[in-house]
Amino acid sequence: MNNNQNNTQLILLKSEDNSCLIESAIKLHHQSFKDSMLFLSHKEKSFVTNSMTHLKENIKELSQIRFMFLKQAWTTLDDMYGKTFFINEIQKMMKEEEFSTLYFHRADTFFEGATKRDLERIISDIAEIARYYHKVVIFSLGEQTRLGQTMDEVLYKEVDLEYLIQKDKSGNCQSKMLKSKKEDANIVLFSDKNEIVEFHKYIFKKDTHIHFNHVKELDENQILIEEADIIVFNLHNVPFKDKLLTLIKKRKLRTKFLFLSDDDIIRKRDKVRKIEKGISQVFEKNFDLSEYIYTIEKIIGRNFYTTILDKVNILPHNHYLKDEEILKDTVYSFLNYHIYFSMVAVEYKSVDPIIFDVIENSIRDLDLVYHNEQSKNLIFLLVDILPQRALFLINQRLKDRGIKVMTKQAFDVNECLSMMGIKNTQEIKRSGIMYD
């Protein structure tokens, strides 16, 4: 086995032979990593070490393995402490301990008694933590057990590599790769809203490994749908949505289905019902773009956008853009780094000068504002917010702070290039999304 592939952090090994699972996990670890391994098992240490006896002659670094074992059955510990406690302990170990690989030996017996929903949460959380702390996690299981079959289904959606381990006629453990994470990701969007379509085109534009398609019909694009890693659905068409979900279930596709709802608020029980139908995640109308993008990154296993936001730190830290040239430079910086943002232009009425603290308190940490006191104009740059939502938020917050808004407009990121020479809001009423 070779683990030299980039971004390979979650690995699944399947076999009915415990010694082959242990041997494969340890060899896989030592092929690529110098730090130690944290070995988690439900079995007693004597059982594990007996299975490792024949490895000691060939692998000198066995002393770098730290063993941890369940003191009681998983269900008992879960009842006593809960899943959150376990996840927090895993996070603490990944943060503080010096190891490169976390190995769950026979995860199907380690988590014996857990429900499928519990496993989905546990594995999803472990995957997220591992990627954050740059750790490799190896799960092994015996797929013939009831829980093994359930875990196989859950893990397939998360792991980057999957191997079947078997003994040959000579008694040697041989591995066969069953799955390797694709470098490219296929994402299909169903939406009739220009704002949503343009947002997706923008965030995917610079990543050559993401193949994005915007389609409206199923029949002529069925092959495209069947190859999709992610389907994003943003249509008010329940029969069509159900048709797509039925296709995914019927063909046993591994596609993740994300639903962008037109509802401002969705009750928790309604979200649960949608998830039970096969929807991976539901987002309300005014969804958090950062959370949504992170969900996509988690599915495809690559941070194509969120890490870019660190570059915002080169911009003014006090949120205030002193003059028009700095405003232009800032817009160019956002576009250059490919950071999604909306521009909101406001003309206000006030006899007395506005204290900047009042304006600053109306925006978030990453947002910026340019203030022209002479013309009584404000131009806001809001990161990771769609234009209509940005317009609503700024208008509401200024009114709450006693600033009388005369006109207001919102522009999406694609319109801002044409805004570079603009000096006042009267000149930009022709092309904005909305104005009064």
Give residue 278's region: left, alpha or beta (phi > 0; psi -120 to 50): left
What is the band of 165 on the pLDDT scale with cuts at 50, 70, 90? very high
Give the architecture-level CATH label for domain 307-428: 2-Layer Sandwich (3.30)
Q: Is the pLDDT of residue 1 over 80?
A: no
Q: Enumerate the domain spans of the chain.
A: 10-180, 185-304, 307-428
pLDDT in tens, 56-82: 655 555 667 888 898 889 999 999 999
Q: Is the pLDDT of residue 399 over 80?
A: yes
Give residue 214's region: left, alpha or beta (phi > 0; psi -120 to 50): beta
Q: Is the pLDDT of residue 144 over 70?
A: yes
What CATH fold (topology level) applies to the domain 10-180?
Answer: Rossmann fold (3.40.50)
Of the candidates 342, 344, 340, which has an alpha carbon nearest to the alpha carbon of residue 409?
344
Q: Is the pLDDT of residue 119 over 80?
A: yes
pLDDT in tens, 345-385: 999 988 787 887 788 777 888 889 998 888 889 999 999 99
What is the band of 54 on the pLDDT scale with cuts at 50, 70, 90? low
> Virtual CA dihedral for 36, 38, 43, 48, nearest 10 degrees?
-10
Burial 288-320 (b: 16+ CB within 10 A, else e): ebbebbebbbbbbbbebbeeebeebeebeeebe
Q: Is the pLDDT of residue 301 over 80?
A: no
Q: Which CATH superfamily is domain 185-304 in?
A: Response regulator (3.40.50.2300)
Check if 10-180 and 185-304 are the same fold.
Answer: yes
The pair of structure tokens assigned to 407 is 């006109």
Q: What is the mean pLDDT of residues 34-44?
A: 83
The pLDDT, as a whole number, for residue 391 is 93
The pLDDT, as a whole number, for residue 432 is 39
Of the candidates 313, 320, 388, 418, which has an alpha carbon nearest to the alpha carbon of residue 360?
320
The pLDDT, as a whole number, for residue 61 is 55
pLDDT in tens, 255-269: 899 999 988 888 888
What is the band of 431 on the pLDDT scale with cuts at 50, 70, 90? very low
The pLDDT, as a whole number, for residue 100 is 87
Q: Is the pLDDT of residue 84 over 50?
A: yes
pLDDT in tens, 334-348: 887 788 999 999 999
Q: Is the pLDDT of residue 312 over 80?
A: no
